[in-house]
Amino acid sequence: MLDKLNIIKQRFDEVSDLIIQPDVNANKKRYIPLSKEYKDLKKLMEKRDLYITLTNNLAEAEEILKDGSDPEMVDMAKLQLDEAKSEIPKLEEEIRFMLIPKDPEDAKNAVVEVRAGTGGDEASIFAGDIFKMLTKYCESKGWSVSTVDYSEGTNGGFKEIQFEVSGEDVYGTLKYEAGVHRVQRVPQTETQGRVHTSAATVMVFPEAEEFDIEIDPKDVRIDFFCSSGPGGQSVNTTYSAVRLTHEPTGIVAQCQDQKSQHKNKEKAFKVLRSRLYEMELAKKLAEDAEKRGSMVTSGDRSA
């Protein structure tokens, strides 16, 4: 275990030297991945220091017990030995888990889209419930949630809502919420007490950094329009909402959450980058799957 950690320490020392170099600091593309790697490796180094302390305590306690000349020291050594023996296996398990390679996307922030599926008004209400549940969950994790765009349902909830979540390891946690969600219940819109089945979809994208995807401004058509929903005169009568259309792919991103046109444009570009990044990522994963398929067709005798 210690041999593995010592190898990692060499990389930690190397990264520590790199992130303070002026040329690395000036290059966002290099600096951000290195600073993330430094942060992850630092946690491992803290565990390494604790592991060294506990193994040293164990060796020291065994030495004192072997000598056995001082009864008071022997009692203290027994306590130290018991503590080290109980803590070392737990710590080793934690370190093994931390050594498992992570998906590089997991540390990113996320863009989440919730859409009403089959079920009419009740599906919109269900989509609103999912949004509330996800928001509460994110708040409990200490993450910040910011609404980007939404379309309200006729009887409450949302036909669709899009929001950003920022914090630590957001995408790695929220990606498991993606998919089609179903509810069976007596909806608020039902007058005769019948149970309805409704669905809503949740999509989770890793938020793309500016250096992940480069968007040529010539490829983007920008439209400004009046925001809908609550907010009074400043929202409904000014052209603050922004719609971006990426003409080569046809991908559309819009934002009407902020009063400022500039802020809406900035948020919409974030969403557009994330969608383009997700598209490129899906292409890469499909290529990887094809390569795996050509190497291993199946595990039976005929193969």
CATH code (residue 241): 3.30.160.20
What amino acid occupies position 280? E
In this structure, are 198 and 239 located in the same domain?
A: no
Residue 82 located in a structural domain: yes
Each of the 303 residues of the chain gets a pLDDT tens digit; together they read: 788 888 999 999 999 999 888 888 888 778 878 888 888 899 899 999 999 999 998 888 888 888 877 788 888 888 888 888 899 999 999 999 888 877 778 888 898 999 988 888 888 999 999 999 999 999 999 999 999 888 888 888 899 999 999 998 899 899 888 888 888 888 777 777 788 888 889 988 888 765 567 788 888 998 888 776 555 545 555 778 888 898 888 888 888 877 788 888 888 888 888 888 888 777 777 775 675 555 445 444 343
* Measured distance CA(220)–CA(135) in Å, rounded: 31
In this structure, are 169 and 225 located in the same domain?
A: no
pLDDT on residue 179? 86
Last residue of a domain, which of 173, 206, 239?
206
**At 218, is the secondary structure helix, strand, or coil?**
helix
Residue 271 located in a structural domain: yes
Which phi and psi (to 5°) does residue 156 adopt?
A: 105, 170
In this structure, are 146 and 75 located in the same domain?
A: no
Cross-strand partners of 179: 202
In this structure, are 117 and 185 located in the same domain?
A: yes
Last residue of a domain, which of 74, 99, 124?
99
Q: Do residues 108 and 140 lie in contact, with contact meaning Cβ atoms separated by under 8 Å?
A: no
Residue 104 located in a structural domain: no
In this structure, are 73 and 142 located in the same domain?
A: no
* Measured distance CA(53)–CA(8) in Å, rounded: 18
Residue 28 located in a structural domain: yes
Q: Enter the tokens of residue 263.
A: 């802020």
Whether pTM exceeds 0.75: no
Residue 303 located in a structural domain: no
Residue 105 located in a structural domain: no
CATH of the domain at 130: 3.30.70.1660
Going through the chain in order, the beta strands assigned E by DSSP cover 110-116, 144-152, 158-166, 179-185, 196-206, 220-225, 241-246, 251-255
Q: Tell me how many domains the chain contains.
A: 3
In this structure, are 11 and 74 located in the same domain?
A: yes
Query: End-to-end alpha-carbon separation of the chain, Å?
Result: 38
pLDDT on residue 158? 92
Last residue of a domain, which of 206, 239, 265?
206
Helix, strand, coil percent values for the chain (each to nearest 5): 55, 20, 25
* Measured distance CA(242)–CA(255) in Å, rounded: 5
* Measured distance CA(230)–CA(207) in Å, rounded: 28
In this structure, are 32 and 90 located in the same domain?
A: yes
In this structure, are 13 and 66 located in the same domain?
A: yes
pLDDT on residue 31? 82
Domain of 121 in residue numbering reads as 110-206
In this structure, are 127 and 76 located in the same domain?
A: no
Residue 59 located in a structural domain: yes
Cross-strand partners of 54: none
Q: Do residues 112 and 181 lie in contact, with contact meaning Cβ atoms separated by under 8 Å?
A: no
In this structure, are 9 and 50 located in the same domain?
A: yes
pLDDT on residue 298? 44
* Measured distance CA(184)–CA(198) in Å, rounded: 7
In this structure, are 92 and 121 located in the same domain?
A: no
In this structure, are 92 and 117 located in the same domain?
A: no
Residue 301 located in a structural domain: no
